[in-house]
């Protein structure tokens, strides 16, 4: 089973950016934790980060017929990007939206998620554990899909 984890703008700045919200651990620390969890679950994981909306759309399109599941933290594009919503709908791959913080309890402009309607679930507010919980949920969803299609 193959899972692609996509991270949007400024998430490469983890550890530096607003540590009171996002913590002091780095993007590399996050990638390591995700890889370890994927190993425990026995799945293949790829990680992609970009600050550019079009590159994120390309990554989602590139997953078509190649990946079984997507985990996406669109970062600020959560609140602005219809293009990312359309890309996830276009590829039809089971997707979970994640956030480190809980955007629903922050500024009002963060309460809108354009991506949410295309996702199985949203996991938010758990720091790095949001990704690990999303990975477990997605793998169990994809495994039950494979079972029922046998
Ligand atoms: C974020 C929340 C977004 O509102 C913000 O723009 C981010 C990170 C999160 O993971 O908590 O860049 O997606």
- pLDDT tens track for 23-35: 999 999 999 999 9
Give the nearest ligand 1 atom to 9 CA.
12
Shortest-distance Cα residue to atom 2 of ligand 1: 75
Identified catalytic residue from 22, 77, 114, 131: 22
- pLDDT tens track for 73-110: 999 999 999 999 999 999 999 999 999 999 999 999 99
- pLDDT tens track for 44-67: 999 999 999 999 999 999 999 999
pTM score, whole prediction: 0.97
Q: Residue 123's domain spans which residues? A: 2-148
Number of domains in the chain: 1
Q: Look up residue 9 and give its two tokens.
A: 């703008």
CATH at residue 94: 3.40.50.9100
Tell me the DSSP string of 12-36: GGTTTS-HHHH-S--HHHHHHHHHH
Our answer on whether the CB atom of 99 is closer than 6 Å to any ligand 1 atom is yes
CA–CA gap between residue 27 and residue 5 (Å, rounded): 12
DSSP code of residue 78: G
Q: How many CA atoms lie within 13 A of 27 on its CB side?
A: 17
The Å distance, Cα 7 to ligand 1 centre, comes to: 10
* pLDDT of 125 above 80: yes
Q: Residues 103, 78: contact at Cβ < 8 Å?
A: yes
């Amino acid at each position: 089973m193959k899972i692609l984890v996509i991270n949007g703008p400024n998430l490469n700045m983890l550890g530096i950016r607003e540590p009171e919200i996002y913590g002091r651990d780095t993007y590399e620390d996050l990638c390591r934790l995700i890889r370890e969890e994927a190993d425990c679950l026995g799945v293949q994981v790829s990680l992609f980060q970009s600050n550019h909306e079009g590159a994120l759309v390309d990554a989602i399109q590139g997953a078509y017929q190649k990946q079984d599941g997507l985990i996406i933290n669109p970062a600020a594009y959560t609140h602005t990007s219809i293009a990312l919503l359309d890309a996830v709908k276009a590829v039809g791959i089971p997707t979970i939206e994640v956030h480190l913080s809980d955007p629903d309890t922050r500024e009002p402009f963060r309460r809108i998620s354009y991506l949410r309607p295309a996702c199985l679930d949203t996991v938010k507010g758990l720091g790095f554990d949001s990704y690990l919980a999303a990975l477990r949920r997605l793998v169990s969803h994809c495994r039950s899909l494979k079972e029922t299609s046998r």
